[in-house]
Chains A and B, each alone.
Chain A
Amino acid sequence: MNKWTDEQWQQWLETEGVAQEAAPTPGGASTTPGEQEDLKAYRFVFDQLNQEPPSGFSYCFSKKVMQQLRSRKRSGRWLGWYFLVVVILTVGLGLTYGMLGLLNKVAASRFVEWVNASKGLIILALLTFLIVQYLDQRLIRRY
């Protein structure tokens, strides 16, 4: 019957390391053939688990991260600008209506009719602009 349990082998290899020259057996103790097999297998397992993967990230990984960071900051700023464009457009339409209302009520109501008739077109143009800008930023972020 084996004297050494799996738990003991693992604990011993965790503290002693896997280098064979370090200590062939715990405290130089004699081991049975079954124990020798266990130890050999555990040494191999520990050795392989401690092996670093063959390849890491690309050589300029940190540069790529910095590039990503800068492009995300830029896209965050652009998002603010897009929002501002929408606000300016809305306020602009409101102001135009207000001014026209003061100067010429007929022109003001015509303006409202025009906006009403073309609202679909205005919204479509605005959405297209925002979607194109959004996709553009997504592509920049990806590549």
Chain B
Amino acid sequence: MFDERAIVSSVLAGDQAAFELLVKQYERLVFFVVYRLVKEKEDQEDVAQEVFIKVYNSLPRFAFASKLSTWISRIAYLTAINHVKKHQKEQVRPFTGDLEHFSFVGDRPETVMDKKELAAYMDKLIAQMPIQYRTVLTLFHLNEFTSREIAQTTGMAEGTVKSCLFRARKLLKEKIQGYLKNDVL
């Protein structure tokens, strides 16, 4: 079993192998966060490496006020957001408009033949959503974080997290509902 405290102590004592173990343990968590926020595939791994370098350098300041995974995901989130700000010129300020009226580019394919195509369409919709919706969906469904942990990671209020999650899923449901009537599944 992975013992957070023991690993952190070993890393702080200068044990490099312990840090490598920590990287292996949390690389999936970081990948999920970075995957949804950084669109360029070739940049995703660079950003994730930067995340772990920051983790290593900041580890002496980690006081176990939260779970190590929450703390690492916050570093991943902030690093990815900074990357997006610098390189993708994407709007990273919180989206305050109504998500139901959010305009998606290349919206609604004429026909969807099977489940795979519908899944690809849904992926496209998620990729176009405002950044805070993408983050919340990812942290909840892939990282299996609670709303409270997502709030700690992103700095949003817990109520905002819940509302983002609800609105994003409702929008996705509405967008794909028409195709399901044609017995795609």
Asked if B118 is at the interface (CB within 8 A of a chain A CB), the reply is: yes
Alpha-carbon distance A7/B173, docked complex (angstroms): 12
A68 to B172 CA separation, bound complex (whole angstroms): 40
Judging by beta carbons under 8 Å apart, are A56 and B27 in contact? yes
Give the shortest distance, in Å, between B41 (CB) and chain A (any CB). Answer: 9
Which among A40, A49, A63, A68 is the interface contact of B53 at CB below 8 angstroms? A68
* 21 CB-based A-B contacts, threshold 8 Å: A6-B170, A37-B177, A40-B185, A44-B122, A45-B173, A48-B122, A50-B142, A51-B119, A52-B32, A53-B31, A53-B32, A56-B31, A57-B31, A57-B44, A58-B45, A61-B23, A61-B27, A61-B45, A69-B16, A69-B19, A69-B56
Q: Which residues of B contact A35 (CB under 8 A)?
A: none
**B19→A68 contact, CB < 8 A:** no
Q: Any chain B CB within 8 A of the CB of A65?
A: yes
A21→B130 CA distance, assembly (Å): 34
B141 partner residues in chain A, CB cutoff 8 A: 46, 49-50
Q: How far is the CB of A9 from chain B (nearest CB, A)?
A: 8
Proximity string of chain B (33-47) to chain A, C-beta cutoff 8 Å, 1 when within and 0 when not: 001000000001100
B180→A10 contact, CB < 8 A: no
Query: Could you tell me which residues of chain B, from 142 to 185, have a CB within 8 Å of some CB in chain A?
Result: 142, 165-166, 169-170, 172-174, 176-177, 180-181, 185
* CB atoms of A37 and B169 under 8 A apart: no
Q: Is the CB of B48 closer than 8 A to any CB of chain A?
A: yes
Which residues of A sit under 8 angstroms from B165, Cβ to Cβ?
A: 10
Count the A residues whose beta carbon is within 8 Å of the partner chain — how many? 29
Contact with B along A11-49 (1 / 0, CB 8 A): 000000000000000000000000001101110111011
B: residues with CB less than 8 A from A are 16, 19-20, 23-24, 27-28, 31-32, 35, 44-45, 48-49, 52-53, 56, 118-119, 122-123, 137, 141-142, 165-166, 169-170, 172-174, 176-177, 180-181, 185
Which residue of chain B has the shortest Cβ distance to A67 in the bound complex?
B49
CB within 8 Å for A44 and B31 given contacts A50-B141, A65-B23: no
> Please, which residue of chain A has its CB at the minimum distance from the CB of B16?
A66
A41 cross-chain contacts in B, Cβ below 8 A: 173-174, 176-177, 180
Least Cβ distance of A115 to chain B in Å?
41
B148 CB to closest chain A CB, in angstroms? 14
Q: Which residue of A lies closest to B177 (CB)?
A: A41
Contact partners of B48 in chain A: CB under 8 A: 57, 61
Residue of B20, B123, B173, B185 most packed against chain A (CB within 10 A): B173
Instruction: Give A67 to B56 CA distance when docked, in angstroms.
Output: 13
Interface residue ranges of A67-111 to B (CB < 8 Å): 68-69, 72
Q: Of residues A38, A58, A62, A72, which shows the largest number of chain B Cβ atoms within 10 Å of its Cβ?
A: A62
* Identity of the chain B residue whose Cβ is nearest the Cβ of A61 in the assembled complex: B27
Given contacts A45-B169, A53-B35, A72-B53, 6 further A-B contacts (CB under 8 A): A45-B122, A46-B169, A50-B142, A57-B27, A61-B45, A62-B27
In the complex, what distance in Å separates the CA atom of A56 from the CA atom of B31? 7
